[in-house]
């Protein structure tokens, strides 16, 4: 056996000490000079796009290193295109954030074949607001009431399988006997509303926020009516509009419709892909929370008369886990209904 002697040990120690160690930069060092992209899973015009662009204007000054923040649109498949891209393709370094359909967790629970992500593995950054989705029906149709939509066919715009604009009408057709006719091919809720204006369809699903900020004249001018609100109980804003759970005639149907409406608590939430370093996730979450308190952003939201109900990334992560944990019986029944073409 050959010994190097004390000098050998010293040299070995020096060599070990001098070995290059690639320390991860701090969030401030990393984000400085970078560009964060907020990907919106729908076309411009709706509240997903509105909140995405609003966040892009204020987030950068609250992120360590003060990066540039931009927003871009990636519509398709009711925003599943963007969700799949974020999970599988997007950089996992903190420079990619997305806002997609609030039904993202439900689609995974329902084993939608288009889903290529695990909702709980996303790093949820925070929620700008919970959200009331509503069914808008033109007054040229006789289907603006609970009874009317069971008596006449109501063509309604869909942004694709897996989107609320298709899932809710299918559920109501199966459980309550409504006669919604689903018309696909619209990239976002704004496109559906434009299709109503053109007379291509008589109905569309959008958010109450969108109606309040862009189409209130439809309601005051009696061009259209808010026919259904997709929530568990009637909102104070819409006390004369039936909640979707009111269409149920038994406890089993009520439980299924309540699961469908549970996505309202996810609302307009933002997430980063899995694999982002924990300290950057923490920095983004803290920056998001600070942004939600930014006086300039709050003033813009108040001016636009938008609902505003922020929640932390940790809270959204818990909501997502609860949705995914729905009972297998409800999932099986809902899958069967939504599979019908």
- Token pair, residue 105, equals 């967790």
Question: Mean pLDDT of all residues in the chain?
Answer: 92
Task: Tell me the CATH number of domain 30-130+266-338, given options 3.40.50.720, 3.20.190.10, 3.40.190.150, 3.40.50.2300.
Answer: 3.40.190.150
Question: Does 30-130+266-338 match 133-263 in CATH topology?
Answer: yes
160: how many CB neighbours lie within 10 A of its CB?
Answer: 20
Residue 151 has pLDDT above 90, yes or no: yes
pLDDT per residue as tens digits for the range 226-260: 999 999 888 888 999 999 999 999 999 999 999 99
Residue 213 has pLDDT above 50, yes or no: yes
Dihedral (CA of 16, 22, 24, 26) sign: positive
Instruction: Say what the pLDDT of residue 237 is.
Output: 87
- Token pair, residue 16, equals 């070990």
Residue 162 has pLDDT above 80, yes or no: no
Give the HSE-up count for residue 286: Cα atoms under 13 Å, Cβ half-sphere. Answer: 11
Instruction: Say what the pLDDT of residue 22 is.
Output: 65
Instruction: Say what the pLDDT of residue 81 is.
Output: 96
- Integer Cα distance of 270 and 48 in angstroms: 10
120: how many CB neighbours lie within 10 A of its CB?
Answer: 15
**Residues above pLDDT 90, as percent of the chain:** 76
Per-residue pLDDT averaged across 274-282, rounded? 98
Residue 6 has pLDDT above 80, yes or no: no
Q: Are 262 and 164 a contacting pair, CB within 8 Å?
A: no
Instruction: Say what the pLDDT of residue 8 is.
Output: 46
| Prediction pTM value | 0.77
Per-residue pLDDT averaged across 316-332, rounded? 92
Domain coordinates in residue numbering, the chain? 30-130+266-338, 133-263
Who wins on pLDDT, 4 or 82? 82
- Token pair, residue 60, equals 């950068």
Residue 85 has pLDDT above 90, yes or no: yes
Split at pLDDT 50, 70, 90, the class of 155 is very high
Residue 3 has pLDDT above 80, yes or no: no
- Integer Cα distance of 179 and 155 in angstroms: 8
Domain 133-263 has CATH 3.40.50.970: no
- Integer Cα distance of 327 and 337 in angstroms: 16
Burial letters for 192-213: b for 16+ Cβ neighbours within 10 Å, e otherwise? Answer: bbbbbeeeebbbbbbbbbbbbe
pLDDT per residue as tens digits for the range 116-128: 999 999 999 999 9
H helix or E strand, kind and range, residue 321: helix 313-324
Q: Which of 9-18, 87-96, 128-137, 169-178 has the lowest mean pLDDT?
A: 9-18
Residue 9 has pLDDT above 90, yes or no: no
Residue 5 has pLDDT above 70, yes or no: no
Split at pLDDT 50, 70, 90, the class of 1 is very low
Per-residue pLDDT averaged across 176-197, rounded? 95
Cβ-proximal residues to 53 (8 Å cutoff; 6+ apart), any chain? 38, 40, 71
Residue 29 has pLDDT above 90, yes or no: yes
Residue 167 has pLDDT above 70, yes or no: yes
Residue 21 has pLDDT above 80, yes or no: no
Instruction: Say what the pLDDT of residue 217 is.
Output: 97
pLDDT per residue as tens digits for the range 188-205: 889 999 999 999 999 999
Place of tokens 């997305």: 98
Instruction: Say what the pLDDT of residue 163 is.
Output: 85
């Amino acid at each position: 056996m050959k010994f190097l002697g004390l000098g050998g040990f010293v040299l070995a120690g020096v060599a070990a000490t001098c070995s290059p160690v690639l320390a991860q930069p701090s969030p401030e060092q990393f984000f400085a000079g970078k560009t964060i992209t907020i990907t919106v899973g729908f076309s411009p015009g709706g509240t997903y796009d509105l909140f995405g662009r609003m966040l892009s204007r204020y987030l950068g000054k609250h992120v360590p290193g003060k990066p540039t923040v931009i927003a871009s649109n990636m519509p398709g498949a009711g925003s599943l295109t963007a969700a799949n891209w974020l999970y599988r393709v997007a950089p996992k370094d903190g420079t990619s954030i997305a806002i997609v359909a609030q039904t993202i967790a439900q689609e995974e629970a329902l084993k939608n074949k288009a889903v290529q992500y695990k909702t709980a593995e996303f790093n949820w950054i925070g929620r700008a607001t919970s959200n009331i989705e509503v069914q808008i029906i033109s007054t040229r149709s006789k289907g603006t009431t609970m009874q009317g939509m069971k008596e006449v066919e109501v063509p309604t715009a869909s942004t694709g399988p897996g989107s609320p604009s298709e899932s809710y009408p299918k559920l109501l057709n199966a459980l309550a006997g409504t006669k919604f006719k689903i018309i696909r091919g619209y990239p976002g809720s704004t496109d559906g509303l434009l299709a109503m204006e053109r007379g291509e369809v008589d109905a569309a699903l959008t958010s109450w926020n969108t109606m309040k900020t862009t189409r209130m004249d439809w309601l005051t001018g009696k061009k259209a009516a808010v026919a259904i609100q997709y929530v568990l109980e009637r909102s104070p804003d819409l006390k004369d509009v039936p909640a979707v759970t009111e269409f149920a005639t038994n406890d089993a149907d009520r439980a299924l419709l309540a699961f469908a409406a549970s996505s309202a608590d996810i609302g307009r939430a933002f997430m980063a892909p899995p694999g982002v370093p924990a300290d950057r996730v923490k920095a983004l979450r803290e920056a998001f929370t600070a942004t939600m308190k930014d006086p300039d952003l709050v003033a813009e939201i108040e001016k636009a008369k938008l609902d505003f109900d922020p929640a932390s990334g940790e809270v959204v992560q818990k909501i997502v886990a609860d949705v995914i944990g729905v009972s297998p019986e409800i999932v099986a029944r809902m899958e069967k209904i939504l599979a019908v073409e």
